[in-house]
Structure 1
């Protein structure tokens, strides 16, 4: 009745239950600390001097299909932000990314693209003061082109903890720009 297999199974179940409870406590404490620090209301972000540059590309790497030209866009921007509130004892790293959202072709729809991103691994690097930063990615629209539409730019973040789920949010700093009209060749 009390053989070795039963004892090992009992010890394994006790260990797994204890580890699950401890993980739950860590997750709850992490979320409580983030709510206490009001990380979803970070208002120290300024996105300014956004300049958009569009061009026509024929390469498959830039969204061209069947060698038909595709409008391609890059931006330069200034970014000033302090994300130190996002770091606590359970933060492994933070993934930040600059997105632009603009109206889609159909009524009420919108498109969202990512122009730039960065991984921050420690609190000392969480204060960013970027001037004339070029976008990391060259983007194209799912439609034929951007056609001079207005875009809203936001800095979004993703906390990757040592233990627990990924936590997403965005700063309250918002910038905007207009995609230039580019005539296809």
Structure 2
């Protein structure tokens, strides 16, 4: 199934599928979130028995939290901005390191209604997925109001984890470099 097909599904369906795959493969996951404010972790833990594969998540809404909790270097945030490939990749690395999880997803974006810029308009979201094998990142633009942007980002985060666990990293994330 394509990433777009997975993202069209309901959040709970995505979270249930993620749980099935984690259990089948003996994989643990974590989430490092900014603009979704815990939405990914909420979706994952809404599934009964999710403690089998999800132990902790990080809501690092402020830049200082990204540095304190995940070890994202402050100069990296200053140089590239919180909504960037570099920062979400560092968030994934920090989340895996701090949690001991096998696989992590990171989300940072501009959910709106304010905060956008010409380079990063409202709806811009960077997502990254990674493990000890490496990190893949993708910039997306989601239409709609704050709620819609956040919901679409949660779906994209879950869909990317699913595609990685299904073994099709390239199709899951497209051309990321």
TM-score category by the smaller chain? under 0.3
**Which protein shows a greater Rg?**
1
More helix by share: 2
Which TM-score applies when normalising by structure 1? 0.27
Which TM-score applies when normalising by structure 2? 0.28
